[in-house]
Chains A and B, each alone.
Chain A
Amino acid sequence: MRRTETRSDPTVSERTLSGIGVTPLSGVGTVVWYRPDEALELDDPPRQSEVDAEAERERFEDARDAAREELEAERERARERVGDEEAAVFDAHLQFLDDPEIESAVDAELEEGLSAEHAVSEGFAGPIEQFEAMEGRMAERADDLRDIRDRLVRLLVGGERTDLSALPEGSVVFAERLTPSDTAQLDPEIVSGFVTATGGRTSHAAIFARSLALPAVVGVGDDLFAVEEGTDVVVDGDTGDVTLNPTEETRAAAADSDRAEVRSDPVATSDGKPIEVAANVGQPAELEGATEQGADGIGLYRTEFLFLERESPPDEEEQYETYVEALDAFPEGRVVVRTLDVGGDKPIPYLELPEEENPFLGDRGIRRSLGVDADLFETQLRALLRAAADGAGDLAVMIPMVATVEEFESARETLDSVAADLDSEAVDYEIPEFGLMIETPSAAFMADEFAARAEFLSIGTNDLTQYVMAASRGNERVSELHDPQHPAVLRAIARTVDGAEGTDAWVGMCGEMAGDPELTELLVGLSLDELSMSAVTIPDVKANVSETDRESAEKLAKRTLQASTKRDVERLLDGDAEN
């Protein structure tokens, strides 16, 4: 893919390109083009008689050694900066680098009398093409191979690599694609974001962007190439919008949301209603990030990490210690721990998790906890009740995937019997707040019944949207339907809140929607008491809460609930933003 020439007469009016947003963040900055292969244009192959095959073979070996060293160094850097999981990409690169098949392809080209750089270029061409022709994740392996090829060619022709780790502050990196080694060099403190022409939500670049909390948009397409170096740009990693020559308002809106100060104190609306802003956490390592971003507590502590990647379930003691650690991280706050939520989509070797035709409608969450995983459920509750007594913060226990009142009542009975056991054993324990996730349409319809029996309801908008709209979360073909701004989802949320009115139960939200700063006013207007989200968006949401006036928020919510289409909803939300 070649880039078109930059335009000589840049438009000065605001213009928006759209792609796929991969991080819930926006960034403001200046376009810096990254064209790593520009220096890698090879001359025509030299005439074969001029090439010393033996010497070229040695040059290839040297380049490979140097590449290996670079990759090992980058792997360490990635490990420090983003963690083991991302560093594993470099392990794969190292294996491709030494791949005997690729080596023999390059050898064959060397024997044909090509120079080392041309032999590398030719030797990799077949495998790259092969992967490109495949689908999904396999096609992304082509990116890995290109990365390795370009690295070798650069080392052979002595090209300088654009130093992505030494960009001026406020750079927004534009590129056709970014390889894992490219993204690993980006410093989120300096770079304001990146935009690529290719790539999807699951590409390496997207995954890195999320780990580094960098605003990023991928898959913009060829239109991107017409953008000139130095253009002012706003990158919205949420909507996927890339706004060129942004107006002052656009810039201010993005900069505002970007520079929201971290506030560790609880916030209230401008008219004084406190709103708890909490973090969603998937493992202990994220607790620190949550406190750093000013979370009041944890609104969703997933416990699956305790059970994954091991041969046997964690015992009571290990769980107890993990829960105490979480509670100690928020001595003044509340930690909502969700009990084990697994089903046929997540393999756990020691659990009997039969493959199901439709795991999201199958035996999962509380269904398993009251059925095949009853023992695990009891152990988890024991550990939780003990931790509630010993940890610093307040514990709340949340039950996933509840569809019937009986399920919740049975879960409560289990909790009571576990408490009775601990009592008779004279073990210290405390009964935590006990509630459920509202993620099935059934639970939303029956919210009043649940609110009469639970201390809290927490709306999991991602699954609720999936179930209300009958649109799979991961399927891009129906992603338009999987959007909580559809009126049906908003009405399910309103019904849940209404169901709790007049009871003591508080109502929170722990889906992605809660972390969308543009929806804060609407959510406050819908009378939610708590919002829980990925830690990165906490400062923005806190800032928005404190600027929200409840009366006008409630008016907005009321109008929005009367909307008949998603477009109407969006129009109302936009309109309100301008006022």
Chain B
Amino acid sequence: MERTVTIVPEAGLHARPASKFVQTAGEYDADVTIEKIGGDGSPKNAASMLSVTSLNAAHGDEVRLVAEGDDAEAALDALEEILSTPEASEDGESGDGTSEADGDEE
């Protein structure tokens, strides 16, 4: 079972969205892989923070999710939901977020 999803969160598959994605992938029995379309082509373990982060998938990129196992469909639904939900820019790791907190907005 597979599905192609466009990444909506502004942060891409980093920071909080990545964290949520990996955690969710780990909650299902199904083995899920993720692959960036137009990337190096090899599917990566969706339950691995390392693999998911190293995809370096940005907002607007397309990814292919492949799931195998009893709850494959439920897993894909949950993961698609995360990738399709916009998230306000909130991560304190980006340069912009930082400078904003510093008061150099003007």
Interface on A for B, CB 8 Å cutoff? 85-86, 88-89, 91-92, 95-96, 99-102, 127, 130-131, 134, 137-138, 140-141, 145, 201-202, 204, 206-207, 210-211, 280, 282, 300, 302, 308-310, 341, 345-349, 437, 439, 460-464, 473-474, 510-512, 515, 533-534
Q: Verify A95–B90 contact, CB threshold 8 A.
A: no
Which residue on chain B has the smallest CB distance to residue A439? B106
Report if A137-B14 is in contact (Cβ < 8 Å); known contacts: A88-B92, A346-B89, A347-B88: yes
Q: Verify B10–A202 contact, CB threshold 8 A.
A: no
* B96 interfacial contact with A, CB 8 Å: yes
Q: Verify A512–B103 contact, CB threshold 8 A.
A: yes
Q: Verify A127–B50 contact, CB threshold 8 A.
A: yes
Q: Verify A85–B22 contact, CB threshold 8 A.
A: no
Question: What is the count of residue pairs linking A and B with beta-carbon distances less than 8 angstroms?
Answer: 115
Q: Verify A349–B19 contact, CB threshold 8 A.
A: no
Q: Verify A138–B91 contact, CB threshold 8 A.
A: no
A348 CB contact (under 8 Å) in B56, B88, B98, B103: B88
Query: How long is the Cα–Cα vector from A145 to B95 in the complex, in angstroms?
Result: 20
Q: How large is the interface on B (under 10, 10 to 19, 20 to 34, 35 or more residues)?
A: 35 or more
Which residues of A have CB within 8 Å of B89? 308, 346-347
- In chain B between 34 and 56, which residues have their CB closer than 8 angstroms to a CB of chain A? 45, 47-51, 53-54, 56
Which residue on chain B has the smallest CB distance to residue A95? B49
Query: How long is the Cα–Cα vector from A310 to B47 in the complex, in angstroms?
Result: 27
Which residues of B have CB within 8 Å of A202? 93-95, 98
Q: Which 7 A-B pairs have the closest CB atoms?
A: A460-B106, A85-B92, A202-B95, A309-B88, A280-B103, A95-B49, A101-B48
Which residue on chain A has the smallest CB distance to residue B48? A101
Q: Verify B19–A204 contact, CB threshold 8 A.
A: no
Q: Verify A201–B98 contact, CB threshold 8 A.
A: yes
Q: Verify A131–B102 contact, CB threshold 8 A.
A: no
What are some 9 contacts across the A-B interface (CB < 8 A)?
Answer: A95-B23, A100-B47, A102-B48, A130-B54, A141-B53, A201-B95, A341-B105, A462-B104, A512-B102
Which residues of B have CB within 8 Å of A300? 103, 105-106
* B101 interfacial contact with A, CB 8 Å: yes
Query: How long is the Cα–Cα vector from A308 to B86 in the complex, in angstroms?
Result: 11
Report if A349-B86 is in contact (Cβ < 8 Å); known contacts: A202-B93, A300-B103, A302-B105: yes
Query: How long is the Cα–Cα vector from A96 to B49 in the complex, in angstroms?
Result: 6
Q: Verify B88–A91 contact, CB threshold 8 A.
A: no
Report if A137-B88 is in contact (Cβ < 8 Å); known contacts: A95-B23, A210-B102, A464-B106: no
Which residues of B have CB within 8 Å of A515? 103
Report if A88-B91 is in contact (Cβ < 8 Å); known contacts: A99-B49, A100-B48, A102-B50: yes
Query: How long is the Cα–Cα vector from A270 to B51 in the complex, in angstroms?
Result: 62
Which residues of A have CB within 8 Å of B10? 347
Which residues of B have CB within 8 Å of A100? 45, 47-48
* B29 interfacial contact with A, CB 8 Å: no
A462 CB contact (under 8 Å) in B19, B87, B93, B106: B106
